[in-house]
Amino acid sequence: MIYSCEKCMKTFSQKSHYDKHLTRKRTCEIQSDKIKELVDKTVEIKINELKKKLNIVEEKIDQQNQSMSIHNFIEVCAGGGGLSCGLIKAGFTPLLLNDNNNDCCKTLKKNHPEANVICGSMDKIDYSSYINKVDLLTGGVPCQSFSQAGLRKGLSDPRGDLMYKFIKILYLIKPKMFMIENVKGLLTHDKGNTIKTIIKALHNCECKNVIKCDCESKSEYNIVYKCIDASKHDVPQKRERVFIVGTIKTTKKQFEYPIELSSKKVLKHVLYNVPQSNGAKYNETKIKLFKMIPQGGCWINLPENLQREYLGNSYNSGGGRRGILHRLSMEKPSLTLLCTPSQKQTERCHPLEERPLTIREYARIQTFDDSYEFLGSIASQYKQIGNAVPVELARQMGIALLKTLEV
């Protein structure tokens, strides 16, 4: 046991020596300077220890950021840039962004001046310099032919051929991962045979038998797919999209989709202090009808005579048709934003006012930053935003992809 004098700070290993010290004739002096020096030294040691720990943490963060920043991607059919914007936020660096629409390319160049933006058909690009040098090949391959709201011609539609062009590019450049975004209807098209055909093609299989085939075991990629609802990933919009993800088999870690969040963002969380912007308009007749429709309501909230008058022959056709004369609710996520907010089947009326959502309101719901600019006509801007992958969902997917690549 160690005995210490509180006045002079001397220490003794034996109690007899300590007692003798206390009873000596000359009282010890209070050594305040010595105490201060000891305290200062102790504090200095603790501070240095904390600094070392902080430096270690900062080094790990720098290493992680450096690791993330070197991962690159190529995106074809990039549209207005929702997917690329989210991937960049996650830590990816774009090597090449491509679309065949001039307005989309202008938007991409405006917002990503550091990226190589090529306008034109994806199969006309020279990819030779990218072979075995790409971490991620991705794209929102046009999905109109698979949409539940369209004709659903699928792979027989000329646009469906773009899927095969994507696959050809995939096996040319051989990226570490690939990701394809498409609509929910892809999973049910042709009783599920279309998705099976696409997966077989992604495995580089030419067998015509859709059901019995061992192409998966011979493929260079492990492939998974899932339908994801953006409203479960911090996006104030119910938007269901299919994400097909392939990981080259030499990668040690298996890809895992982002975890769904328990809470949901709703429109009141984003429709405030929105920058002024242009937008579509309603005619006076439609404005009068919307005055009778509450938040979250639609044509069914009108008197029956007005329902019949507005819907015409489709009144007796059956089906939900809740997108007709639909007013959004501040307390709920938005319905899926489409290419226009004001046509009869796609109306997205502002929750509090009798008007369509503006361009910047559309962009807010799609989780674009207010600084992100869209170029082209008003109709073109609505289409670019309406076709985009929500930026926040793309960011979360990007983080999940990086976790797989960084092993």
Active site residues: 143
- Alpha-carbon distance of 104 to 374, in angstroms, equals 8
For the range 110-116, what are the long-range contacts, defined as Cβ-Cβ under 8 Å and sequence gap of 24 or more? 110/373, 110/375, 111/81, 111/85, 111/372, 111/373, 112/81, 112/84, 112/88, 115/84
Contact 222, 249 (CB under 8 A): yes
Contact 391, 370 (CB under 8 A): no
How many residues can be counted in the chain? 407
**Distance between alpha carbon 320 and the CA centroid of its chain, in Å?**
30
- Alpha-carbon distance of 370 to 359, in angstroms, equals 11
CA-based nearest residue to 348, from 333, 327, 317: 327
- Alpha-carbon distance of 230 to 83, in angstroms, equals 13
- Alpha-carbon distance of 83 to 389, in angstroms, equals 5
Question: Measured between alpha carbons, how far is residue 389 from residues 158, 193, 247 in Å?
Answer: 23, 25, 21
Contact 100, 372 (CB under 8 A): no
DSSP state of 78: -
| Parallel, antiparallel or unpaired: strands 3-4 and 11-12 | antiparallel
For the range 194-203, what are the long-range contacts, defined as Cβ-Cβ under 8 Å and sequence gap of 24 or more? 194/146, 194/154, 194/155, 195/225, 195/242, 197/155, 198/155, 198/163, 198/244, 199/223, 199/225, 199/244, 201/163, 201/164, 201/167, 202/167, 202/170, 202/178, 202/244, 202/246
Question: Measured between alpha carbons, how far is residue 284 from residues 114, 289, 329, 337, 368 in Å?
Answer: 46, 9, 22, 23, 31
Number of H helices, E strands in the chain: 12, 9
- Alpha-carbon distance of 99 to 119, in angstroms, equals 5
User: Hey, is 41 helix, strand or coil?
Assistant: helix
